[in-house]
Structure 1
Amino acid sequence: MRPATLAVVVPAHDEERLLPAALTALARAARHPDLAAVEVLTVVVADACRDRTEAVARDAGALVVRTDCRNPGLARAAGVRHALDRSLTGPSALWVATTDADSVVPSGWLAHQLAHAREGWQAVVGTVTLPPSSPLAAPHLALYEKTRPPTGAPWIHPHVHGANLGFAADTYLDAGGFPPLTTGEDRALVHALEHRGHRVLRTATCPVLTSPRLHPRAHDGFGHYLSEMAGTTDA
Structure 2
Amino acid sequence: MVWKRQRVVAIPVCNEEEHIIPCLLALAAQKDALDRVVLWINNTTDDTRNRALSLTGRLPFELETVTVSYDPAQASAGLARRDAMAHTAKTAAPDAILFTTDADSEVAPDWTENILAAFTQYPVEAVFGRVLLMPEEYRKIPPHLHEDEQAERAYGALLEQIGLMLRPEAHDPWPRHQEHSGASIAVTHEAWRRVGGIPHISSGEDREFYKALRRHGIPVRHDLEVRVYVSARLQGRAQGGMAETLARRLIAQDEYIDDAFEPVSRRLLRLRREHAYWNADQYAFPMQPYPELPLVHIRRQDLPRHHERAQRVLNVLRQLKSRFSKELQSGTTGQSDIPLHALTDQTASLPHGRFG
- The residue number in structure 2 matching 1:133 is 136
Q: Please state which structure has a larger fraction of its residues in strand.
A: 1
- The residue number in structure 2 matching 1:48 is 43
Matched, 1:145 2:140: no
- The residue number in structure 2 matching 1:179 is 199
Query: 1:82-231 counterparts in 2 under 5 A?
Result: 82-87=87-92, 89-90=93-94, 93-119=95-121, 120-134=123-137, 135-136=140-141, 139-140=145-146, 142=150, 145-146=153-154, 147-148=156-157, 154-231=174-251
Aligned residues: percent identity?
27
- The residue number in structure 2 matching 1:58 is 53
Letter of the 1:80 counterpart: M
Structure 2 unmatched runs, 5+: 57-62, 159-172, 254-356
Aligned residues: 222
Deviation, structure 1 residue 117 = 2.2
Deviation, structure 1 residue 102 = 0.8
Does the 8 A contact of 1:73 with 1:182 survive in 2? yes
Give the aligned CA root-mean-square deviation in angstroms.
2.3
User: The residue matched to 1:133 in structure 2 has which SS?
Assistant: helix
Does the 8 A contact of 1:72 with 1:180 survive in 2? no
Letter of the 1:56 counterpart: R
Letter of the 1:142 counterpart: Q
**CA displacement 1:30-63 (0-9 Å, x = unmatched):** xx1xx36xx6111111011111112222333421
* TM-score of the superposed pair, with normalisation by structure 1: 0.85
Letter of the 2:45 counterpart: R
C-alpha distance in 1 between matches for 2:67 and 2:82: 12
Segment of structure 1 superposing worse, 140-149 or 2-11: 140-149
Letter of the 1:97 counterpart: F
Letter of the 2:39 counterpart: V
Deviation, structure 1 residue 154 = 3.1
C-alpha distance in 2 between matches for 1:64 and 1:46: 7
**CA displacement 1:68-92 (0-9 Å, x = unmatched):** 23322222222222322333x22xx
C-alpha distance in 1 between matches for 2:213 and 2:80: 19
Judging changes above 3 Å, is the alpha-carbon distance between structure 1 residues 81 and 113 closer, same or farther for their aligned structure 2 residues? same
Deviation, structure 1 residue 175 = 0.8
C-alpha distance in 1 between matches for 2:39 and 2:106: 14
C-alpha distance in 1 between matches for 2:152 and 2:228: 14
C-alpha distance in 1 between matches for 2:119 and 2:55: 27
C-alpha distance in 2 between matches for 1:78 and 1:170: 17
Does the 8 A contact of 1:179 with 1:188 survive in 2? yes
* TM-score of the superposed pair, with normalisation by structure 2: 0.58
Letter of the 2:37 counterpart: T
**CA displacement 1:127-186 (0-9 Å, x = unmatched):** 11112223227534525633346xxx9343332110011111110111111122221011
User: Structure 1 runs of 4+ off > 6 angstroms?
Assistant: none
User: The residue matched to 1:126 in structure 2 has which SS?
Assistant: strand
Matched, 1:21 2:41: no
Does the 8 A contact of 2:177 with 2:223 survive in 1? yes
Q: Please state which structure has a larger fraction of its residues in helix.
A: 2
Does the 8 A contact of 1:42 with 1:63 survive in 2? yes
Structure 1 unmatched runs, 5+: none
User: The residue matched to 2:135 in structure 1 has which SS?
Assistant: coil
